Amino acid sequence: MDTIQSNNYPIYFDNSITELVNFVKKGNYSRVFILTDENTGEHCLPLVKAQLDVLDNFDIIEVNAGEESKTIDFCIGIWKMLIDFGADRSCLMINLGGGVITDMGGFVASTYKRGIDFVHMPTTLLSQVDASVGGKTGVDVDGIKNIIGTFTQPKAVFMVDEFLKTLPSRQILSGLAEMLKHGLICDAAYWNKLKTSDLTVPAPELVHRSVEIKNEVVIEDPNEKGIRKSLNFGHTVGHAVETYSLLNDDDHLSHGEAIAIGMICEAWLSNKKIGLPDAELAEITSVLSSLYPKHLIEDSCHKVLYGLMQKDKKNQNGLINCTLLTHIGQYSIDNICTEDELCDSLRYYATL
Ligand code: NAD
Ligand code: ZN
């Protein structure tokens, strides 16, 4: 598969680990650090190490798995380790993990000594099709997601499809929601392909197409002024449902599970407000509800969910602004939705 060119850096798909070894050799780095979490240390690092062992100057930094690690305290821990190792400005950080590791590793590297080189090796579907592309780095503070961070591009991204084999199925579904979104916002043919494919572990060609779409969008609009808003489809309602579930459910929804619900609600809004045809709403609803388990959202939660939507950083002047669809494959940004409309969309989901 073709290497995808992003903002001055390549995204490799074929022989990625060999490409990584070549990249490291060429870069003449004083030292190489691999950032992992417990799971990627166990499942992914051995694949990389087997080939990277030709180099002798690399060290591994491992953090606990999960969003709880994506904090400034963990960053301080990593910065201190870099200092202890005597890391200078010409060292390299390899972020080997899901979105938590790529976001946090990117942030640590982009600030250590005002910035050292870093590359991503995303190991979850979500981080392959979303988090590793676009140059956003960051950490959470006081439970506020991604509140501190930078826009810094990696020097390269290396996609390895083998990594996905050890991912739990719920993690696959989480990344899949973003892939389906890519089809819905700008490529009907890709949506049709996804709809009819075996998605237990999506084929590398499908991952490649999603990365291509996300990359085109972020290259055209690096600072989120226009077309990048297309990526928000499903995320106004979805983020509120995700946050609510994080606060209230023991076994809370993953990001993608929440976005799948958000996409059904926002497809309904698209149908009511901007003419998404009935048949296309029915199709989106049926594909998403056959892939994702039903989640109970009672009317009594609507007020809180609406309150969460109002806090969304995408809003301006207290109005709730959604990215909707005029057709499958065609998005429309900046649609103001009222509280009644948003609650009705949640009722549509609840009656499925
Ligand atoms: P994650 O990094 O926490 O990974 C999910 C779980 O899977 C973890 O327990 C991890 O240890 C495990 N894991 C990772 N790779 C594995 C493998 N190959 N086999 C088995 N287990 C594996 O989370 P995520 O879902 O990848 O990403 C979520 C994060 O990404 C959030 O913090 C979100 O804010 C961020 N994100 C960032 C962007 C961006 O543009 N920067 C975009 C989307 C999401
Ligand atoms: Zn998302």
**Nearest ligand for residue 179 CA:** 2
Cα(243)–Cα(20) distance, integer angstroms: 37
124 alpha carbon – ligand 1 mean position (Å): 6
Tokens 């590297």 sit on residue: 109
Question: What's phi and psi for 51, nearest 5 deg?
Answer: -95, -30
Which residues have C-beta within 8 Å of that of residue 248, sequence separation ≥ 6? none
**Ligand 1, from 47, 96, 118, 126: best to mutate by most atoms within 8 Å of Cβ?**
126
Q: Which atom of ligand 1 is nearest to the CA of 101?
A: 2
- Which residue lies with its CA nearest to atom 12 of ligand 1? 39
Q: Which atom of ligand 1 is nearest to the CA of 163?
A: 18
52 alpha carbon – ligand 2 mean position (Å): 32
**Ligand 1, from 35, 36, 39, 181: best to mutate by most atoms within 8 Å of Cβ?**
39
The pLDDT of residue 317: 78
**Ligand 1 neighbours (beta carbon < 6 A):** 37, 39-40, 43-44, 65-67, 70, 97-101, 103, 123-124, 126-127, 130-131, 134, 136, 145-146, 163, 166-167, 171, 174
The pLDDT of residue 112: 98
Q: Which atom of ligand 1 is nearest to the CA of 100?
A: 2
Taking each helix axis from N to C end, the angle separating 302-311 and 235-248, rounded to the nearest 10 degrees, works out to 120
Q: What is the DSSP letter of 15?
A: S
The pLDDT of residue 144: 82
The pLDDT of residue 224: 76
The pLDDT of residue 9: 96
Q: Which atom of ligand 1 is nearest to the CA of 65?
A: 11
178 alpha carbon – ligand 2 mean position (Å): 6
Cα(101)–Cα(105) distance, integer angstroms: 5
**Ligand 1, from 124, 176, 211, 228: best to mutate by most atoms within 8 Å of Cβ?**
124
Sketch out the chain's domains with CATH numbers. 4-164 (3.40.50.1970), 169-350 (1.20.1090.10)
**pLDDT means over runs of 10, the chain (352 residues):** 94 97 94 97 95 81 96 97 96 98 98 98 98 95 89 97 97 98 98 96 97 95 85 96 93 96 98 98 98 96 94 80 97 96 98 96
Taking each helix axis from N to C end, the angle separating 339-350 and 255-274, rounded to the nearest 10 degrees, works out to 120
